[in-house]
Amino acid sequence: WGIKEQLRRLLATDTLAQAWQERMRMGYFVQIANMPEATKLYDTVVTWWDAIEVLIVTGATTAKVEAGNTGIKNIKRTGRGFRNAENYRTRILLTSAARTVA
């Protein structure tokens, strides 16, 4: 639980120097915990460090795109009897447009 909170602190930092400090602190906690789950989480942070730095500097995420993809997958999963590809495409566009307006 403490390592998860350390990850949250790392992602909430304002500068790269602070982020690096929190990353080192997280590595220390992972060593103390000596748990495979914690080690795997830390390895993931190390692997994605370049992307994490971009997030800290720019604040840019792919959350809106991922939400749109999830909506499309939900429409596809429910199917609603669409046999016509054009109707299916229209349904996806209408659903995403309604989400944009709301």
Q: How far is Cα 68 from Cα 56, in angstroms, rounded to an integer?
A: 23
Give the mean model confidence (pLDDT) for residues 66-74: 82
Give the mean model confidence (pLDDT) for residues 8-29: 90
Q: How far is Cα 102 from Cα 63, in angstroms, rounded to an integer?
A: 17
Share of the chain above pLDDT 70, in %: 90
Is residue 36 very low, low, confident or very high in pLDDT (cuts 50, 70, 90)? very high
Give the mean model confidence (pLDDT) for residues 2-9: 87
pLDDT at site 101: 59
Please provide the size of the chain in residues.
102
Domain boundaries, the chain: 2-58, 63-101
- Reported pTM: 0.60
pLDDT at site 78: 74
